[in-house]
Amino acid sequence: MDAATAPPPSPARWRVGLEQSPVSSVTFRHAREHRVKACRGIILKGMCGIVGYVGPLTPSDRPLSVALEGLARLEYRGYDSAGVALATPDGVQMRKKAGKLKNLRDSLETDPLPAATAAIGHTRWATHGAPSDENAHPHLSADGKLALIHNGIIENFAALRAEVESSGVRLRSETDSEVVAHLLARAFDAIGDLTEAMRTVSARLQGAYTLLAIHEDVPGVIVGARRNSPLVIGLGEGENFLGSDVAAFISHTRTALEMGQDQIVTVSADEVRVIDADGAPVTPREYTVDWDASAAVKGGFDTFMAKEIHDQPAAVGDTLLGRADETGRLRLDEARIDESVLRSVDTIIVIACGTAAYAGHVAKYAIEHWCRIPVEVELAHEFRYRDPIVNEKTLVVAISQSGETMDTLMAVRHAREQGAQVLAICNTYGATIPREADAVLYTHAGPEVAVASTKAFLAQITACYLLGLYLAQLRGNMFIDETQALLAELAEMPSKIQEVLDTEGHITDVARDLSGVDSVLFLGRHVGFPVALEGALKLKEIAYIHAEGFAAGELKHGPIALIDQGQVVIIVVPSPRGRDQLHAKVVSNIQEVRARGARTIVVAEEGDDNVEPYADVIFRVPQTSTLLAPLVSVVPLQIFACQLASAKGLDVDQPRNLAKSVTVE
């Protein structure tokens, strides 16, 4: 019996005296007051764009133009403010603007900055702290001599902020990044060496970061540091480049250096020095970028969808980051609904559309099991027009990647009119749906460019698990050790997702072999059922193939009539360690369709050899507990759809008739 599906605690076991609950209602702001358990080994791909350029000591317009061009190449990452800082003979000069790069360019047109020897540039995707001029990067030290840009999340932000403020510094922004700028300036003033200052300050930071800094007293130099967030160096002739990915500088050089965890780099026009956290010199790996500029923005993948499928370990890891303290107690830092309200909730209704609704279906199984609260999942456009039973004891959870889906927005308004509390799970900071909700749990998947949702889907499921564990902990359904055990398993999921990604070649071969099919059926049970629905949707929307997902138990109630010789059927098999003989039932479903001529593709756990006699193809996934399985079992289906559509020569990222956000009803 796996942890996630062990029988729910009997009422007698429920924690008595909820006042012991460690969870307190918190404000919307990201409460970073406690160090959090960063997910082990997760390489977090930051959402922001970072560019650096160091050229000859003769000032010119090149640093600024290279920085702006690099930021333009990183626009695909999505952002809501942009800024640059220049090292000039008149000291550090900075300009930053909320909104798109055009706002920054217009400002520089009307009020130009002087010629420079170095530049750092940044596009910010706001996760905490509104998109505004003040919160945009770069951030300056109090004396204006140092400028810093940052990508990532500093988890011990609150303690460091208090330390900086107690020294008399008045912070200008809501960001964690500005605090680092002040710490770095203070360290430089004490040490007199920007590299050593960066090394000592970055050692104090917890969480994920890429940092670049310039200082007036160190002309023609950029110092950088990274942990769990990307930074690459581009080697030029008499000039050098830095970027959050090679897209930032690929038009200038294809020779790049890869930086490792906790390393610090010092870049001038003619030299690149890298040291480790102890100050020892490091020789970074040099490589040649063989992607073209357009491929570079996709991280070397052929499509954004393929890139985003591979971003999923980071999307899940980012979404988990900062949600629990050292003891594993959950703090949903943006979910501001009073504990008493959450304890009084007697029904949860998930409203969403498309893929987001399937995330809600996964959530249903988990939250009902952990919290013993009935969970309904409603298509937003249906919810609105039926006469739902909604009142102040109903928690409506609105799931939306874009936060702008009109069907979901109108359903949110309808639910609120009926007195329900609304919590939004959204991937886009400040979008309409989170703004109109009573509380928000942001996913941190980063901008999702492909119309077909992949990494946002896994991030939504992850956020739903967090919500379920939070409610179970708050309402006393689970003991802290139970929550901890599941959080520990969740922390392992990014690396398990990576294991599936590593089997992409096998899945791609199968997809290419089947590129001529015109119909595929998907079967699943329990949490495998919404996974089957999502697999079918992916194939429909990007490969234009008739695909349908069914609950496997439904087969004999009609759909089995569809099985004919050669019909492709993909079956998502639950863990053999799960409860209720689900595994055996699904294996018999495979037999049933195979006996009638189906070509069976089976998604099954490593080591599950029961399926082998009936499977024409097996997509293997790592072992997980039953309720967490969707985080790995959907990945082969995403790859299958993406590669089959690519084999058909279709536009995977912008499929016909579809928009990324459906802002009409």
Interface contacts to ligand AGP, rule CB under 6 A:
353-356, 400-402, 405, 408, 451-453, 541, 661-662
Quote the least distance from Cβ 572 to ligand AGP, whole Å: 18
154 vs 426, beta carbon nearer ligand AGP: 426
Q: Distances in Å between the alpha carbon of 365 and those of 222, 248, 332, 627?
A: 50, 43, 20, 7
Quote the least distance from Cβ 304 to ligand AGP, whole Å: 12
438 vs 534, beta carbon nearer ligand AGP: 534
Taking the C-alpha atoms of residue 521 and residue 417, their distance in angstroms, rounded to an integer, is 40
Quote the least distance from Cβ 373 to ligand AGP, whole Å: 23
80 vs 489, beta carbon nearer ligand AGP: 80
What's phi and psi for 550, nearest 5 deg?
-130, 155
CB 299 within 8 A of CB 73: no
Taking the C-alpha atoms of residue 594 and residue 614, their distance in angstroms, rounded to an integer, is 7
Quote the least distance from Cβ 358 to ligand AGP, whole Å: 8
Quote the least distance from Cβ 367 to ligand AGP, whole Å: 19
- 485, with CB counted inside 10 A (0-12, 13-18, 19+), is middle
* Beta pairing class for 91-98 and 81-88: antiparallel
CB 175 within 8 A of CB 135: yes
Quote the least distance from Cβ 440 to ligand AGP, whole Å: 14
Point out the catalytic residue in the list 39, 48, 426, 642. Answer: 48
334 vs 605, beta carbon nearer ligand AGP: 334
Angle between helical axes of 480-501 and 455-474 (0-180°, round to 10): 170
- 288, with CB counted inside 10 A (0-12, 13-18, 19+), is exposed
118 vs 399, beta carbon nearer ligand AGP: 399
82 vs 356, beta carbon nearer ligand AGP: 356
**Residue whose Cβ sits closest to ligand AGP:** 354
Taking the C-alpha atoms of residue 584 and residue 607, their distance in angstroms, rounded to an integer, is 15
Quote the least distance from Cβ 661 to ligand AGP, whole Å: 5
Q: Which residues of 79-91 are buried (b: 16+ CB within 10 A; e: fewer)?
A: bbbbbbbbbbeee
Q: Annotated catalytic, 371? A: no
Say which residues have a Cβ less than 8 Å from residue 214's Cβ, sequence separation at least 6.
Answer: 85, 87, 92, 118, 120, 146, 147, 221, 222, 223
Q: What is the H or E stretch that residue 198 is in?
A: helix 194-204
432 vs 498, beta carbon nearer ligand AGP: 432
Point out the catalytic residue in the list 145, 585, 648, 660. Answer: 660
CA atoms within 13 A on the CB side of 381: 9
268 vs 454, beta carbon nearer ligand AGP: 454
Q: Annotated catalytic, 353? A: no
> What is the tally of helices (H) and strands (E) in the chain?
20, 25
CB 73 within 8 A of CB 102: no
Q: Distances in Å between the alpha carbon of 532 and those of 111, 206, 571, 636, 654?
A: 56, 39, 8, 11, 23
Question: What does the longest C-alpha to C-alpha distance in the chain come to?
Answer: 80
Taking the C-alpha atoms of residue 99 and residue 83, their distance in angstroms, rounded to an integer, is 10
Quote the least distance from Cβ 411 to ligand AGP, whole Å: 11
CA dihedral (379, 383, 389, 391) positive or negative: positive
Quote the least distance from Cβ 639 to ligand AGP, whole Å: 14
157 vs 304, beta carbon nearer ligand AGP: 304
Residue type, 75: E
179 vs 450, beta carbon nearer ligand AGP: 450
Quote the least distance from Cβ 423 to ligand AGP, whole Å: 15
Query: Could you please report the per-residue DSSP string of 592-618?
Result: HHHHTTPEEEEEEETT-GGGGGG-SEE
Catalytic residues: 48, 660
